[in-house]
Structure 1
Amino acid sequence: MTKIDEQQMHAENFDNIYEKVKNDPYARSLGIELTRFGPGMAEAELEVQPHMVNAHGTVHGAVMYALADHVFSVACNAYGRTSVGLSTNVQFMAAAMPGDKITAAAAEVRRNFRTGFYRIEVCHGVNQIAVMDAVAYRKDQYFI
């Protein structure tokens, strides 16, 4: 079996991979905007809308999770290899309010043939409001 250089795969197919990962229908429906993308990493932002809050008037945890999950998905699929979430663990530490811009950044911690491990930080400005550890299952096929 020939070993594929995934860094080279990312570089040579950047435009095709980027088009695939940036057009996630659910993320787009929430207004999530991908702002940075590279091998094993991604960043995105979202402005909290009035309908995205919980009964206390703060951003709903599901909205923060969706933002974190989106950058996780983009980061683990950055090499053009079909990857899906296997597990996540999120810690919510602080809240955001309607009108606030929140950002999420995913960074690859480690990957091997079958799994990838990622750390995602969600922030409001310089304040970290959530953190997620995630594991991706890397399928055999490439989507590019």
Structure 2
Amino acid sequence: MTPEQRARTCADLMWSADRASQALGMAITAIGPGTATLTMAVRDDMLNGHGICHGGMIFTLADSAFAFACNTHNQRTVAQSNQITYLAPGRAGDTLTAQATEVSRIGRSGTYDVVVQDSDGQDIALFRGLSRTIQGQHFDEDAS
């Protein structure tokens, strides 16, 4: 199995159980070893009291991209810590894109950066996540 096939299989297995991302209308548009790109259309029900998409919805998209990227190596991985900087809001009708990239992976720890952009390609959030590998795999590669 190639690293790309492994990443896709892990993403498919995670996606099948990820009801939250599905309910928010997210889609995985690209997946590879240590990388993931997810999109999410900003709906009216995602706007806050100021009429913009800011905070939690953007964080959730970035965190989901991070989760898919750090789980592409067929090792069960969870967030250890993360931080986000908001640069601009999303707006109703935007399709937000979160691109997660593995910066480093040493032993059981990984570092991932996620850039969230609006429909115009403007950066609206920068996210850094640290991951920790726990016991288990997403699937038995010897059985596939």
Displacement after TM superposition at 1:16 (Å): 2.7
Match of residue 13, structure 1, among 2, 6, 18: 6
Match of residue 111, structure 1, among 105, 126, 129: 105
Q: Deviation per CA, 1:3-44, whole angstroms, max 9, x where unpaired?
A: xxxxx6634534531311333211001000110000000001
Task: Give the conservation status (yes or no) of the 8 Å contact 2:6–2:72.
Answer: no
Match of residue 138, structure 2, among 135, 138, 143: 143
Which residue of structure 2 aligns with residue 45 of structure 1? Answer: 39
Aligned length: 137
Letter in structure 2 aligned against 1:134? G
TM-score normalised over the length of structure 2: 0.89
Higher share in strand: 1
Which residue of structure 2 aligns with residue 3 of structure 1? Answer: none
Gaps of 5+ in 2: 140-144
Any residues of structure 2 matched to 1:52-67 within 5 Å, and which? 52-67=46-61
Distance 1:51 1:12, change over 3 A: closer
> In structure 2, how many angstroms separate the alpha carbons of the residues matched to 1:22 and 1:37?
12
Q: Deviation per CA, 1:47-84, whole angstroms, max 9, x where unpaired?
A: 10001011100003100001000010000000110000
> In structure 2, how many angstroms separate the alpha carbons of the residues matched to 1:12 and 1:121?
24
- What is the DSSP-based 3-state SS (H/G/I as helix, E as strand, rest coil) of the residue aligned with 2:136? strand
Aligned-residue identity in percent: 28
Q: Which runs of 4+ in 1 moved over 4 A?
A: none
Q: Deviation per CA, 1:67-124, whole angstroms, max 9, x where unpaired?
A: 0000100000001100000101000000111111110000000001110000000001
- What is the DSSP-based 3-state SS (H/G/I as helix, E as strand, rest coil) of the residue aligned with 2:114? strand
TM-score normalised over the length of structure 1: 0.89
What's the RMSD between the two structures over aligned residues? 1.5
Task: Give the conservation status (yes or no) of the 8 Å contact 1:42–1:105.
Answer: yes
